[in-house]
Chain A
Amino acid sequence: MQSVQATAKAVGLPYGVRGILPILLAIPVIGLAQWLLGGLPFVVYIASIVGVNLILAVSLNIVNGMTGQFSIGHAGFMAVGAYTAGKFSLHAKDLVISHLPAAMSDQVLFLFALLIGGCTAALCGFIVGLPSLRLRGDYLAIVTLGFGEIIRVILQSTEAFGRALGLAGIPQWSSLFMVWIWAFITVLAARRIAGSSHGRSLWAIREDEVAAEAMGVDTTSYKVRAFVVSSFFAGIAGGLFAHFVPIINPGSFTFVKSIEVVVMVVAGGLGSTTGAIVASIFLTLLPEALRSAFTAISGNAEIAQRVDQIRMPIYGLLLVTLMLVRPQGLFGNRELWDVIPRWIPRRRRAA
C-alpha cells in the first residue's frame, strides 16, 4: 500500500482520491476478470468460493493474527450475515428501485442486503466481544465456539429461518465482480488497520497484553473493536455466500467451517494478511483440483468423493504437522513481500 500511496503523492492527487485509489485501480481489473470469465459458471462458482474464504481468512486474521486472540466461532458470524442478507433479499427480490434498470436495481438491493448482513454480524461481534474479551486465551476460544454453536442452534430451531432446511430461493445476485471487490476491500481494510496506530495497539496486545495495558492501551476496547471489524467482514462473506449457493442451511456454518478458516489463518501465518490470502486460495483450490484431477484420471465420481472425504483428516494432520514443524505458519507475521527476497539467492540479488 505504501507504494500506491507514494505513487499517488508523487502524481499529486488530492487527498480524498489518494485514499480510494487502490479501489479505483481494482475496479477495472476485477471488471475485466468478470468480463473474461463470466461465461464459465463453474469457474465463477469456484472463484466465488475462493473469494468468500479469502474474506473469512483475512478478517479472522485481524482477531487471531494481529490481536493474538483465539476465536473459533467465525462461522457463526458468517451465518448471521448469510441469514440476515438472505432474508432481506427474499423479501426484496420483487422490488425494483424506480429510475434504475432492473439489473442495476438488483445490485443496489444486493449491496444493501450485504451491508445489513455485515452490520448485524458486527453487532453480534460487539455483543459477544464486550463481555467475553475480558477472558483470556483458552476461555475466549471456548466462548466463541459456544457462541457459534448457539447461533447454529437458534437458526436450526427458528421457523422464520427455515429450521434445518434453511433458506431457499434467495435471488442469485452475486457475481465474480461483487465477491472480489469485497475481497479486495477486506484486504485493503486489514492492511490499513495493520499499518495504523490502531493496528500498532493490536500488535502490542498480541505481543504482551499486560505490557500493552501498562503502556496505556485500552486492551478490552481495542480487542472488541478488532472483533467487530472482523465479524463485519465475516457477515459480508456470509451475505455473498448466500447469494450464489442455491440454498443456505445451518449445516454450512458448523464448527467445521470455523476450523477450516482457522487452519487457513494459521497455515498462512498468524498476523500475515498475504499469508491468509495465499493459504485461503491454496486450501480452497486444493481439494477442488484433486477432485477434478481424480475424476479426469479415473473417469468416475466415486474416487473423487473419496478424496473429498479424506480432506478433513488431512486438514487435521496438516494442522498438527504445521504446528510441530513451523509453528509460526508459512510467512510468520511477515508479509509476502518481506519473505520473497529471502528466497532469491544472495548472488543474484547482488547482481
Chain B
Amino acid sequence: MADFLQHIINGIATGTIYALVALGYTMVYGVLKLINFAHGDVMMVGAYVGYATALKMGPGTRTSFLGAVVVFLMSMACCAILGFLIERLAYRPLREKPRLTSLITAIGISFTLEYGFQLDIGFLPGAAPRAFPEIIVPTEWLIIGDRDVVLWNWQVLSFAIAVALMLVLQYLVFKTRFGRAMRAVSFDHRIAALMGIPTDRVIAITFMLGSGLAAGAGILYAIKDTIVQPLMGLYVGLKAFVAAVIGGIGHVPGAMVGALLLGLVEEFVVGYTSSTWRDAVAFGFLILVLLLRPEGLFGRVTAEKV
C-alpha cells in the first residue's frame, strides 16, 4: 500500500512537469497545426539558463524565495525570446508551405539545439551532465509511516505551479481579448486575418507563452533530476507531446489530464516491472490511444475539408 501511494505521488510529480511542457505543445498545435519538435529542447535551454542564473547568484541568494523567483523569471524570459526567434526565423517563412516542411524544420531546430549544446565551444556547456544547484532546499513535506511514503516540498511546489499556470492559461484563452484572437486564429488563421486579427502577433505571443511554460518545466525537471544535460529535453518533449495527443491536442485541460495520466502509467509500469521500459511505455500508450480514440480523450472529431 505504501508503495502504491509513493508511486502515485511520484507519478503525479512527473506528470505535472509533462503537463507544463504539454501545454506549450497543445497551444502551438492549436494555432499553427504544427508539432513543434523543438519544444522539449526549449525546455532544456530553460533549464540551462536557470542553471547559469543560479550559479551567478551564489549559494546564499539562490535558495531565498526571491532568488528562486528570479531564476524562474530569468529562464522563462530567455526562453520566450528563444521561442519568438524560432517562430520568426524558422516557422513563419514556411507558414503557407505544406505542413511537412515545417515539421522537418522543427526537427532541424531540435537537432541544432540538442547537439549545439553538446559542443564545448564558447559558452556552450558540453555533453557532460552538470549538477543543478539547489534553488529549493529539498525537505520532506509529508511523511507517512516510517518513511514509507515521502512527499517532497518540490513535488508539492511543482504541482502547485503547474495547476496555477494552467488556470492562468485557461483564463487567458477563454476570458481575454487575446484569448479570443488566439481561438479565432486556431479556428482558421486566414479568416481571422480578414477579420482584422493580427495573426502574426498572436502566433508569436502563443509561441512565447508556450516556451516560457517549457522553461518553468525545465527548471522543475532539473530540480527533480538534480542534473541538467543537453538531451534532457528529447524524451520529456516527446512524452509531453504524447500527453497532449492523449488529452486531445489543442485542448488545454486535456493536456493536463493526459500528462498526469501518462506520468502515472509510466510510474506504475516502471515501478512494478523494470526501469528499462520507461521510454517505451509512453509510446505504447500513445499508439493504443491513437488506435482506439485518435482524437484523444477530450478532442473533437473533425471531418477532413476538401
Binding site for B on A (CB under 8 A): 68, 70, 72, 131-132, 134-135, 137-139, 141-143, 145-147, 149-150, 153-154, 156-157, 210, 255, 259, 262, 266, 270, 309-310, 312-313, 315-320, 323-324, 327
Contacts and interface: CB of A to CB of B under 8 A. Distances in A.
B290 A157 contact: no
Contact of A320 (B90, B284, B286): B90
A139 B118 CA distance: 29
B195 to A, nearest CB: 27
B103 A316 contact: no
A72 B110 CA distance: 14
Given A143-B287, A156-B276, A259 B118 contact: no
B205 interface: no
B279 interface: yes
A145 B119 contact: no
A327 B290 contact: no
Contacts of B238: 142, 145, 149
Contact of B112 (A150, A153, A316): A316
Nearest to A72: B107
A142 B99 contact: no
Contact of A141 (B35, B110, B294, B306): B35
B178 interface: no
A317 B112 contact: yes
Given A142-B242, A309-B115, A319-B105, 20 more contacts: A72-B107, A135-B290, A135-B294, A137-B100, A138-B35, A138-B99, A145-B238, A146-B282, A147-B283, A147-B287, A149-B238, A150-B284, A153-B276, A154-B280, A312-B111, A312-B114, A313-B111, A316-B112, A320-B105, A323-B102
Contacts of A266: 104
Could you say which of A143, A315, A323, A327 has the most chain B C-beta atoms within 10 Å of its C-beta?
A323
Contact of B103 (A138, A210, A315, A324): A138
Which 10 residue pairs across A and B have the least CB separation, nearest first?
Answer: A146-B283, A316-B111, A319-B108, A316-B112, A312-B115, A153-B280, A320-B108, A157-B276, A313-B115, A313-B116
Interface bin, chain B: 35 or more
A132 B290 contact: yes
Given A132-B287, A262-B104, A309-B119, A319 B99 contact: no
A327 B113 CA distance: 21
A141 B116 CA distance: 24
A261 B110 CA distance: 16
A323 B276 contact: no
Contact of B245 (A137, A142, A310, A324): A142
24 contacts: A131-B287, A135-B290, A137-B100, A137-B103, A139-B290, A146-B242, A153-B276, A153-B277, A156-B276, A157-B276, A157-B277, A309-B115, A310-B119, A312-B111, A316-B107, A316-B108, A316-B111, A316-B116, A319-B105, A319-B108, A319-B111, A320-B108, A320-B109, A327-B97
A286 to B, nearest CB: 16
B101 interface: yes
A70 B102 CA distance: 12
A142 B283 CA distance: 9
A145 B241 CA distance: 12
Interface of B: 35, 90, 93-94, 97-105, 107-116, 118-119, 234, 238, 241-242, 245, 274, 276-277, 279-280, 282-284, 286-287, 290-291, 294, 304, 306
Contacts of A141: 35, 103
A257 to B, nearest CB: 13
A145 B97 CA distance: 23
Contacts, number: 120
B104 A142 contact: no
A327 B274 CA distance: 43
B290 A149 contact: no
B297 to A, nearest CB: 15
A145 B238 CA distance: 9
B286 A146 contact: yes
B276 A142 contact: no
Nearest to B124: A313
Nearest to B283: A146
Contacts of B283: 145-147, 149-150
A145 B277 CA distance: 16
Contacts of B245: 139, 142
A132 B284 CA distance: 12
Contacts of B108: 315-320, 323
Nearest to A209: B304
Given A143-B287, A147-B283, A324-B90, A157 B274 contact: yes
Contacts of B98: 327
B287 to A, nearest CB: 6
Contacts of B97: 327
B104 A319 contact: yes
Nearest to B119: A309
A259 B241 contact: no
Nearest to A141: B103
A149 B279 contact: yes
A308 to B, nearest CB: 11
Contacts of B241: 142
Contacts of B284: 146, 150
Contacts of A255: 234
A138 B116 CA distance: 25
Contacts of B234: 255
B112 A313 contact: yes
Nearest to B33: A138
A139 B94 contact: no
Contacts of B107: 72, 259, 262, 316, 319
A340 to B, nearest CB: 25
